[in-house]
Amino acid sequence: MTSISRSGSPKETTPRRGFEPAHSALTSQVPLSSPEKPDPSRARRFLFLASIGFTVILLVCFEAGFRIYLFHFASPGRLNKYARSWDIPADARKFKPHPYLNHALNERYRSEDGLNRHNALGFRGAEFPREKLPGTYRIACLGGSSTYETKIADYRSAYPDQLQEVLRSAYGRTNVHVINAGVAGYTSWELLINLQLRVLDLSPDLIVIYEATNDVQARLVPPAQYLRDGTGHRKPWEPSGYGWWDHSLVLRFAGLKLGFSAPSSLDSTINVEHGDPERPGDWLSRNPPVYLADNLRDMVAVTRAHGASIMFSSWTHRGRGAGKAPDPAYLRGLEENNETIRRVAEEEGVPFYDHASEMPQDDAYWADERHVNEKGALRKAELFAAFIEAKFLVAR
């Protein structure tokens, strides 16, 4: 470092310890280098992670929106189709597990339009007291979906409710009370248990049995599994057929559309899967309706033991295969079951109504091959009312 002496001549000096010019300090601490180039692999990783995050957020939004639509705005049909069994709110479930019946009607069920409902006792229709009022003639109609009347939205238009109306209005039987004790899927096994454990507790005067088609299904099992206890056909209540992807209702919706998700159904929940036999006639031939006959006889015995009357009826359909395509073997099974019902009625001295011979086959009365529409239910009620009036009520 150079300084000026008193004489004016330059004088070399040594810098003080610890002091350096600013530019020297700067250049010694920050080495000079070229600008850093961007790493393309880091950019690609960022874009990949960002796209995954965006997709997840989008799926969550779709899932939330679809759930809001399904549970708050969709029709009951759509809700039951796209939601899993346990996702459906309690008041939208038609069925519930039962320790002795496998499944029963859910007493909390109410349709959104208010037309259909199950009462507190677990039967389709309006509330009624468990104890029968004095002077009341109580009729209980037992059967499967063709007694419940699955295809009729308003419970008041189902045949049991219309039977009550016809008996009151056309025959003046104002003291008659009719209970719809039908449950979709019930075979003669469930009818017997339902009668003994639930229906007879209501002190009915007359039991009406109308079922044959579900007992054909109970016979379509491998002969080695056609058993008295019905376990070859029924399994404990177990919603099944769901994949891991069905936990997302958006993915389940896509799965149902594309065919890799199974629709929710009562059959898959309560029935043993055997697959369709190549020749169903072989299974039907080797599985005669002996258990149907036994169950019917037991129904007669338990009903009489409680001081009530019982009647049987043949079961009818539109005549084109009862929803099973025009399969001659299936139709033969229906004929065999109807004949069994008639024969047991004759042997037991039970009134038998041949409804199959009187119910019109016109399309105007039918919603599908097995179930009537509202017009058909009214005609069905009129036919049953005429028989019940003549056989049971005139003599009172």
Instruction: Look at residue 322 in the predicted model and tell me its pLDDT.
Output: 46
Instruction: Look at residue 13 in the predicted model and tell me its pLDDT.
Output: 53
Question: b/e per residue, 224-255, with b = 16+ CB within 10 A?
Answer: eebeeebebbbeebeeebbeeebebbbbbbeb
Q: pLDDT band for 46, please (50, 70, 90 cuts).
A: confident
| pLDDT higher than 80, residue 10 | no
Instruction: Look at residue 166 in the predicted model and tell me its pLDDT.
Output: 98
Report the C-alpha gap between 96 and 87 in whole angstroms: 13
**pLDDT mean over 127-151:** 97
Instruction: State phi, psi for 253 to the nearest 5 degrees.
Output: -60, -45
Instruction: Look at residue 15 in the predicted model and tell me its pLDDT.
Output: 52
Report the C-alpha gap between 383 and 396 in whole angstroms: 20
Instruction: Look at residue 152 in the predicted model and tell me its pLDDT.
Output: 97
Mention every residue, 6+ apart, whose C-beta is less than 8 A from residue 210: 141, 142, 143, 146, 147, 182, 313, 315, 355
Mean pLDDT taken over the chain: 87
Report the C-alpha gap between 341 and 291 in whole angstroms: 11
Output 12 or 360, whichever has higher pLDDT.
360
Report the C-alpha gap between 29 and 25 in whole angstroms: 6
- Six token digits for residue 87: 């996702």
Contact in structure between 211 and 186 (CB atoms under 8 Å): yes
Over the stretch 298-320, which tens digit does the pLDDT of each residue have? 999 999 999 999 999 999 998 75
| pLDDT higher than 60, residue 98 | yes
Percentage above 90 pLDDT, the chain: 60
pTM for the model: 0.81
- Six token digits for residue 29: 């601490």
Percentage above 70 pLDDT, the chain: 87
CA dihedral over 229, 230, 232, 235, signed as positive or negative:
negative
- Six token digits for residue 307: 């001081």
Output 118 or 321, whichever has higher pLDDT.
118
Instruction: Look at residue 134 in the predicted model and tell me its pLDDT.
Output: 95
Instruction: Look at residue 214 in the predicted model and tell me its pLDDT.
Output: 96
Output 184 or 3, whichever has higher pLDDT.
184
Q: Options 3.30.830.10, 3.40.50.1110, 3.40.640.10, 2.120.10.30; which CATH number does 115-235+275-393 get?
A: 3.40.50.1110
**pLDDT mean over 28-32:** 54
Q: pLDDT band for 324, please (50, 70, 90 cuts).
A: very low
Instruction: Look at residue 321 in the predicted model and tell me its pLDDT.
Output: 44
Instruction: Look at residue 151 in the predicted model and tell me its pLDDT.
Output: 95
Over the stretch 164-183, which tens digit does the pLDDT of each residue have? 999 999 999 999 999 999 99
| pLDDT higher than 80, residue 127 | yes
Report the C-alpha gap between 158 and 241 in whole angstroms: 32
DSSP H or E stretch at residue 210: strand 206-210
Output 214 or 83, whichever has higher pLDDT.
214
| pLDDT higher than 60, residue 30 | no
Q: pLDDT band for 16, please (50, 70, 90 cuts).
A: low
CA dihedral over 385, 387, 390, 391, signed as positive or negative:
negative
Question: b/e per residue, 144-158, with b = 16+ CB within 10 A?
Answer: bbbbbbbbbeebebb
According to the per-residue pLDDT averaged within each range, which of 18-27, 52-61, 256-265 is highest?
52-61
**pLDDT mean over 212-241:** 92
